[in-house]
Amino acid sequence: MRPTRFGLTALSAVLTAFVLGLAANAAAADQGPPIKPEAREAGRKAAPALMQAAGIPCQVSDARLIGVAPDPKTKKDTKYYEVACTGGLGYDVVDNGTTTPSWASCADQAKVGADGKPNQLYCILPGDADASPAFDAYVLKTKVNCGVSAYRGIGHSPEASYFEVACKNGRGFILKTSSPPNPEKPVQLISCLAFPAGSQLECKLSTPAAQLSVIEALAAQSGKNCQVKDKRYILTSDAMDNYYEVACADGKGWVLHEDATGKLAEVIGCDVAGGIGGGCTLTSGRAAETEQAGLYSKLAHKAGFACEVSKYSPFNVAMPGHEVVELACANRPDGAVAIFPAKETETAQIYDCAHSELAGFRCSFTKADDAFPRLTDDLRKLGKTSCAVNGERIVGETAEKVGYIEVSCADGNPGYMISYAIATMTPKEAIACTLAKDIVGGCQLPSNVKRG
């Protein structure tokens, strides 16, 4: 498992913050409670057509004319409106009479501008007073547990709109959706931790400390005896999963994989986490790897496979209560695939690399030639003593859980089809290739076909 980091750089590059340009014409805008009846009448009359022309999905519930100001270039009147939408976000919309209306969400408009003066485009319609329910609707399209407690607009590009949302549980996210926003189109919620301080998408409604507090909860669910000493965010994947590193007081460390729903998906040792955002930095991955190799050596010996583990690689397979790992050995050329139970008191299942493919696991550390002596031993157990195996083909297994491996012989004699009881990987029968034509398509190794 090697997660791909969410495309922060590319995302920030396309974002263009958008605020309607009324600064130079603020004096011309007629705004402020109470709303004049004629302003509301003009707004309600113009809003449906404007929203349709702007491509904004909106069942208009209220509207007002904010003001009219001449365009500095064309000298034509430009009209500014606020529009409230039933169950949706509110908007400021600009009508210059010629091009497609431009827009900004009410969430983009602060009550006070950067110059400290009242923002003439701040939304005041009752229907735009609280957009939390509208943002809840966007969040519900994702898997994230977040009841929106606060929000703010960041801006939009031609392709996407960006908002920050704070959740009642203390989490915070950047919400990315279509431009204009449309709850029927894809929505992403990206952890605020993905956006560093000073970036265009930096979160302001929650703190990194609050965001990182989730790590203690995940660590508590991990089943590891870990008194958290240090912690850090690593990355967010394209699937919106988050990865964190936790360092424990006893010197051990782990990577915690949080899925998009906020649940702990897996616990990854620092010894095998090098491909996740550069791996662990709070603890020593090398030390963890050495310790884990020693544990695997102990468990392999206990299961009857004498292996001083020199390196290992976990298989990304779902086998609850077990860990599937390929082993390379310092004291022998052939390795194995081990299925280690969670409890060290239980015995591991070992498949040497000559037979592991019958169990569904292919070795990558062990060379094929180094595994052949195990197959030669199988033939000898079945009374076939003249064949030194020099080639192997995994044929497969039958519905009766009988597996077949085809082998060729170095001495030039015809090869064999060896059958195995899959449950125990015990050799049952060695059938000469000349007699095995009806067994799963017969022998196919070049030397066996030539002699067959």
**Average pLDDT of the segment spanning 363-377:** 93
Q: Is residue 44 within 8 Å of 60, Cβ to Cβ? A: yes
How many domains does the chain divide into?
4
Q: Does 312 share its domain with 191? A: no
Other beta carbons within 10 angstroms of residue 386's beta carbon come to 9
Q: Is residue 266 within 8 Å of 248, Cβ to Cβ? A: no
Question: What's the predicted TM-score (pTM) here?
Answer: 0.65
Provide the percentage of residues in the chain whose pLDDT is more than 90.
58
Out of 20-24, 62-66, 369-373, which region has the weakest mean confidence (pLDDT)?
A: 20-24
Q: Does 66 share its domain with 198? A: yes
Q: Does 101 share its domain with 184? A: yes
Mean pLDDT, the chain, integer: 87
pLDDT of residue 4: 58
Q: Does 290 share its domain with 273? A: no
| Adjacency order of strands within the sheet including 242-248 | 228-236, 242-248, 253-258, 264-269
Q: Is the pLDDT of residue 353 over 80?
A: yes
* Strand ranges inside 344-401, DSSP E: 349-352, 389-397
Q: Tell me if 2 is assigned to some domain.
A: no
pLDDT of residue 18: 42
Q: Does 141 share its domain with 242? A: no
Range of the domain at 240: 213-278
Q: Is the pLDDT of residue 28 over 60?
A: no
Question: Which one of 257, 278, 299 terminates a domain?
Answer: 278
Cβ neighbors of 4 (< 8 A, separation 6 or more) are 237, 238
Q: Tell me if 1 is assigned to some domain.
A: no
Other beta carbons within 10 angstroms of residue 151's beta carbon come to 21
Q: Does 288 share its domain with 158? A: no
Q: Does 86 share its domain with 14? A: yes
pLDDT of residue 249: 86
Q: Tell me if 272 is assigned to some domain.
A: yes
Q: Does 99 share its domain with 161? A: yes
Q: Which residue has the higher pLDDT, 396 or 450?
A: 396
For 355-364, how does the pLDDT look when each residue is reduced to its tens digit (9 = 90+)? Answer: 999 999 999 9
Q: Tell me if 268 is assigned to some domain.
A: yes
Q: Tell me if 3 is assigned to some domain.
A: no
Q: Tell me if 162 is assigned to some domain.
A: yes
Alpha carbons 403 and 422: distance in angstroms, whole number: 6
Alpha carbons 131 and 163: distance in angstroms, whole number: 12
Measured in degrees and rounded to the nearest 5, phi and psi for residue 217 equal -65, -40
Please provide the size of the chain in residues.
Answer: 452
Cβ neighbors of 290 (< 8 A, separation 6 or more) are none
Q: Does 303 share its domain with 361? A: yes
Q: Does 46 share its domain with 136? A: yes
What confidence tier does 27 reach under pLDDT thresholds 50, 70, 90? very low
Q: Which residue has the higher pLDDT, 253 or 417?
A: 417
Q: Tell me if 151 is assigned to some domain.
A: yes
CA-based nearest residue to 452, from 405, 402, 410, 416: 416
Question: Which one of 278, 299, 331 terminates a domain?
Answer: 278
Q: Does 99 share its domain with 232? A: no
